[in-house]
Structure 1
Amino acid sequence: MYIKKTLLSCCLLGAFSSLAADNLTNSDPLTPYQWHLNNTGQNSFTTDTVAGEDLHLLNTDMQGIQGDGVTVTIIDSGIELSHPDLVNNVTAGSLNLLTGTATPTDNTGHGTAVAGIIAAQANNNIGGRGVAPQANIVGFNYLDAQSTSHWLQSHGMPLTGSANARVYNQSYSSKPALFTNVDAEHALSLQLKERVMQQVSLNSNNGLGALFVKSAGNAFYQYTTFIGDTQFQVFPYEQQQQFNNAGLPFHNANLSADNASFWNMLVSAYNANGKLASYSSVGANVFLTAPGGENAQSQAGIVTTDISGCNAGFNTIDSTTDTPLQNTGLDSHCDATAAMYGTSAAAANTSGAIALVMSANPQLDGRTIKHILASTARKLDANNTGVDINFTDNYGDATRYNAIPGWQQNAAGYNFHTFYGLGAIDVDAAVTMAQNTTSSLPALHISNWHSKNTPLSIPDANVNGVQDSLAITDNLTIEAVQLKLSIDHARMRDLAIELISPVGTRSVLLSPRTGLINAADTPVQNALLLSQHFYGESAAGQWKIRLIDTDNGTSQTLLYSEQTGLLSMNDTNNSVDGTLLSWSLRFYGH
């Protein structure tokens, strides 16, 4: 009897999938082109896509789960709240941080595009639809008014107004050229933000809390940063080639201190072929990956809302990337775009997915929803073997180092990859698990910092590096691990930083060849990094840190600005070995 029921269930599920596909793709004129919702291998205005590489939400949609009752706050460039595909999902709480009015005008189209990915209305015969087309949206134009007070207003403090949001979408990222000293006096605003996110994450919404979703960044190959008042393009130089970084991320997502916060759910981006998007920043702090698309001039972007009319936003009368969309005649008013892409889009897809899971079981708190997403994530690009780099060591021998491991399964059974975190979001699997979950995770426990302050020499160009250990007695099931360390090294870009758990799980928290620009004779103090690699493992036992110098001086970091021209940094090898000055671990878990 059990077998017959199982077979019947499978058959019904298949039938529902077919019906859901028809319902979803016929929802609105542009929905058939929204491969991130339902990838059938269709042509999405550019190249063909790979069937199945999407959010896996068809059965959820068939059940009528569309984000009802969940509010998503969009912290961005603003939102065109009157957009015909958004207006019916707008709820009270939006704020223009420049004027104090309730209309956070969007001057670029970015925030409007993000809002459409999350919650554009379905079945209204306009444009496409959102991941959670019945979710509520609130908007802030924080990117136009970046102050600490405006950050607090847009991120839920005090616990009134926008704090009724269950999801906070942050489709933006910083790209510092140096680590931040998180314990320095000038980092007080960072420490304040940590406390606020903790308060909102755990205590808002009558104790159900909220989730902060954040883009990992778009800096795999290069990034821009300010040094003083001058903006520089920063990029690698390897094997006498510009932009060659030996296949490694040039700007590791862990370089940004806010990306190393436990409270930010960091998201990388994949494209319509089910591979890491060409631009996506990555790191051990990536929690999940979601559709981000590619530049629509070469591969499929994300179809979403745009500023209304043909004179502003992405889709204008002069647009080249949206010409194929204009040629369809399906968007004669230029209210949509097919040119959105980036980890901004991946964060928006994640926020919409979270809204669906939350609406499937409104009684679950934010941490439990996060746990469900981790437990149901699928292994994307399963054959990706990571990245090895070759270098000549200090003995003159050719040496290889596994700088980005391939997919690894940790001791708790969770798969992890530096490119994709714990995997790609699978909405249907997450919704099913949420519907069958009757209790939340145990209360969160945050350990004290466990520290080691014995200086250790880091041998130059040596694959064995230097290793130290720390005994941990905290009896916790890990939700994340933070590492704080101080290092004196003249060429930080040479270094790989690994953390190894008591059961042998190896996490590369900082991959080598990262585009750090060292300040002369200034050690890195209290740099913060985070790893999601140990999710579900036990904290108790002997932890090891390993630092490996992987270069004898053949790689460089280049900077360019119109004012200065091309400059070279880190172009000679360090004359003395570096030093690990101190390191500390902190555990989040239950």
Structure 2
Amino acid sequence: MNYKKNLIVLSILSTATSAYANTSPELPLTKRDPLTFQQWHLQNTGQTGFSKSAGTVGQDLNVDFADRMGIKGRGITVSVIDTGVEISHPDLADNVVPGSRNLIDGSDYPLDNHGHGTSVAGLIAAVEGNNIGGRGVAPYANLVGFNYLDEQSMASWMVSHGLSEDFRALDRFTDPRVFNQSYGSTPASPRNGDLSNDPAAELEEAIMQDITLNSHWGRGAIYVKSAGNSFGYYNTYINGVKYLVLPYENKEFFNNQGLPFHDANITVDNASNWNLVVSALNADGKLASYSSVGSNIFLSAPGGEYGEDAPAMVTTDLTGCDKGMNRTGPHGNSLHGGTELDPECNYAGTMNGTSSAAPNTSGAIATVMSANPALDSRTIRHLLASTARKTDPTNPGVMLQFENAQGEMVSYDAIPSWQTNAAGYNFHYFYGLGAVNVDDAVFKALFTGVSLPKLQVTDWQKEVADIAIPDASLVGAVSAMQVDQDLTIEAVQLKVNIDHERVRDIAIELTSPSGTRSVVLSPRTGFLRGNEGGFTDALMLTHHFYGENSKGNWTIKVLDTDKGNSYTLIYNQSAGLIGYNNKNNELAGVLKDWSLKIYGH
């Protein structure tokens, strides 16, 4: 049996390497192009990324096997939905295929006036072996770009997200199978997740579902989404004026007791099953300082820090020293300002954010797809889930200390450490199912001959609770629901209706029939106000139950974790500091009802 398996391996690898014979590496990955030696996300040897400090050896995407075998995204098209893409960039042009669109003037050149989208495109598929710049995660993938962030109409959304103007199915070989969305929003209050009240959002959801499951002759596509960059604080606009929003506790600014100030789950499209949401890692394999997190995180991937004190991403920038991130002048990143390695400032060493984690994941997905293009999108996601690496394995999570209503100090396990669920999958609120592991996923793809069984999605099942939420108490409001459908879980959506005057106090957790406890909303989220006094059809997603069985008794618990000792502040130089949620709720909250929808097979 092993002899047969080895013959299959040799056959597959022979086919792969012969197909890419002209690109077989004669040099190590880190020496192939002038800047690859600093692209730590591809192969982390402890480089600095032109910053002042080094990363940790081995904390990378793990692409060595795929690189040596020439499995690098060939035949897979990735759509960059962003500020646009400089498709004529010398390190991108050879991978650009027809299909890009300027959504403002209708031309086929998606003008990038910012540089963000061009940097994203380079992380995905900058050309390898052309003796300039660096390379992308999938350096032989195809690229198309859209300047959607400059023209955010519904028509522009549809075109950039895969629905062509003639409404044909995505079945051509040059049509995208991966859609990269390195953008997002930071709601200042809980959003209503009832899509029947929002026709545009309902249409977007239907389009993503159809393309995910049915495009490309049934193989489908994958939408990759940034989690957000609001772990410690965020910005909001009030009457067109920009304000900084920050936590305040124990008379300390920016003190949120180690908890995320903004949960990635409260953005409605981040709670969609059709978006693969990604958090960001730094060059030490730990959560990047800015990265939003939540139970909706599917995977984590390199995003870097800011590129001065610690490594960011080295990638393509707008050409020339007068635009983009890399401009003439002194800078803390030694690649910047016009250097011997990059005299024309066509590259940057300061790209970061979950905006970088997403394209690194998109490039990884294109690589795995190219290893076995016959596999459908859900199976590709499954391979990534089943091979994800437990990064930062000793991360303890966050134990919240708060004073309860009786004046006693109590502890709440607000963010657990790494947990292994009943199906054997590891999960962490910061990292999802783990860090992207390209080589292991590619190897599995080579030996996976059958896609997952057909997806089944339950109807929303609702439970009316009407249970009081005690103020500042570990008791919480607890309600149970019996689910009869017997599915292997791929994702679980939760919708809640809660009355509560101080929504920042609220923690929400869901426990599966197998006993796995998932915190779907951590406390101390930096809301400015409630939506009708709390949560109205608020939608959340969790991957904590991946692979478990859906049948049995599900339990929700909603807790109030504060009696008014922590606040949300906003600041503007002209207006000064303004406090929100600075008075405790006079009445106990109420868990009115909750609903579940389960995706599985």
* TM value normalised by structure 2: 0.94
- Consecutive unaligned residues of structure 2, counting only runs of 5 or more, are 18-23
Alignment of 1:104-503 (within 5 A): 104-158=110-164, 159-160=167-168, 164-183=175-194, 187-318=198-329, 320-326=331-337, 329-503=340-514
2:559 alignment counterpart? 548
199-208 or 403-412: bigger deviation: 199-208
| Equivalent pair of 1:483/1:586 in contact (CA under 8 Å) | yes
Q: Tell me if structure 2 keeps the 8 A contact 1:31–1:129.
A: yes
Match of 2:98 among 92, 109, 126: 92
Q: Which SS does the other structure have where 1:345 is aligned?
A: helix
Q: 1:425 to 1:36 in 2, by over 3 A?
A: same
3-state SS of the aligned residue for 1:190? helix
Task: Give the partner amino acid of 2:133.
Answer: G
Q: Once the two structures are superposed, what CA deviation does each residue of 1:42-75 show, in whole Å capped at 9, x if it has no partner?
A: 2321211100000000111100111100000000
Distance 1:168 1:105, change over 3 A: same
- Asked if the contact 2:120–2:356 (Cα under 8 Å) also holds between the matched residues in 1, the reply is yes
Map Cα deviations across residues 512-568 of structure 1 (whole Å, 9 max, x no partner): 000112248634210000000000000000000001111111000001234533210
Question: Is 1:45 matched up with 2:50?
Answer: yes
* Alignment deviations for residues 92-144 of structure 1 (CA, whole Å, 9 cap, x no partner): 11001111110011011100000000000000011101000010000000001
Query: Kindly tell me: are residues 151 and 520 of structure 1, through their superposed partners in 2, closer, same or farther at Cα, counting changes over 3 Å?
Result: closer
Separation in 2 of the partners of 1:277 and 1:330? 27
Equivalent residue number for residue 593 of structure 2: 582
* Letter matched to residue 27 of structure 1: R
- What is the rounded CA distance, in whole Å, between the counterparts of 2:242 and 2:496 in structure 1? 28
The 1-side partners of 2:407 and 2:314 are apart by 52
SS of the residue aligned with 1:453?
strand
- The Cα of 1:472 is off from its aligned counterpart by 0.2
Query: Given that residues 387 and 402 in structure 1 are in contact (C-alpha distance below 8 angstroms), is that contact kept between their aligned partners in structure 2?
Result: yes
Whole-Å Cα distance in 2 between the matches of residues 406 and 109 of structure 1?
A: 37
Q: Aligned partners of 2:122, 2:170: CA distance in 1, in Å? A: 19
Distance 1:310 1:41 in 2: 28
1:54 aligns with 60
Cα-to-partner distance string for 1:168-207 (whole Å, 9 max, x where unaligned): 0000111001122122665221111110100110111111
Counterpart check, 1:533 vs 2:539: no
The amino acid that maps onto 1:201 is T
Deviation at 1:319, TM superposition (A): 5.5
In the TM superposition, residue 232 of structure 1 has moved relative to its aligned partner by: 2.2
Q: 1 CA distance for matches of 2:91 and 2:584?
A: 56
Aligned-partner Cα distance in 1 for 2:319–2:232: 33
Distance in 1, Cα, partners of 2:393 & 2:365: 24
1:102 to 108, 119, 122: 108
How far residue 20 of structure 1 moved from its aligned partner, in angstroms, is 6.6
- Distance in 2, matches of 1:325 and 1:226, equals 32
Q: Would you say the 8 A contact 1:29–1:127 is kept in 2?
A: yes
CA distance in 2, matches of 1:350, 1:224: 26
Q: In structure 2, give the amino acid aligned to 1:35.
A: W
In the TM superposition, what is the alpha-carbon distance from 1:147 to its structure 2 partner? Answer: 1.4
| Contact 1:21-1:58 at 8 Å conserved across structures | no
Give aligned pairs, total. 580
Which range is displaced more, 383-392 or 38-47? 38-47
Q: Provide the C-alpha distance between the structure 1 equivalents of 2:401 and 2:249, rounded to a whole number of angstroms.
A: 12
Post-superposition Cα deviations, 1:307-343, rounded to whole Å, max 9, x if no partner, equal 0010000001035244445575100110000110100
Which SS does the other structure have where 1:94 is aligned? coil
What do you get for the CA RMSD once the two structures are aligned?
2.0
Asked if the contact 1:250–1:515 (Cα under 8 Å) also holds between the matched residues in 2, the reply is: yes
* Partner Cα distance (2:517, 2:26) in 1: 41
Residue 562 of structure 2 aligns to which amino acid in structure 1? D
Assess, with a 3 A threshold, how the Cα gap between structure 1 residues 30 and 184 changes in structure 2: closer, same or farther. closer
Higher mean C-alpha deviation, range 231-240 or range 266-275: 231-240
Percent identity over paired residues = 53
Q: In structure 1, what is the equivalent of residue 20 of structure 2?
A: none
Change (3 A) 1:567 1:162: farther
Distance 2:340 2:180 in 1: 32
User: How far does residue 401 in structure 1 lie from its aligned partner after superposition?
Assistant: 0.4
For residues 511-526 of structure 1, the aligned pairs below 5 Å read 511-519=522-530, 522-526=533-537
Structure 1 residue 228 displacement after superposition: 4.0
The amino acid of 1:513's aligned partner reads R
- Which deviates more, 327-336 or 378-387? 327-336
Q: In structure 1, give the amino acid aligned to 2:524.
A: R
Q: Residue 34 of structure 2 contacts residue 341 of structure 2 at CA under 8 Å; is this kept in 1?
A: yes
Aligned partners of 1:116, 1:327: CA distance in 2, in Å?
19
Shift of 1:41: 1.3
2:86 to 62, 80, 83: 80
Any gaps of 5 or more consecutive residues in structure 1? none
CA distance in 1, matches of 2:577, 2:206: 41
Distance 1:449 1:386, change over 3 A: same
For 1:540 and 1:451, how far apart are their aligned partners in 2? 15
In structure 2, do the counterparts of structure 1 residues 292 and 186 end up closer, same or farther at CA, with 3 Å as the change threshold?
A: same
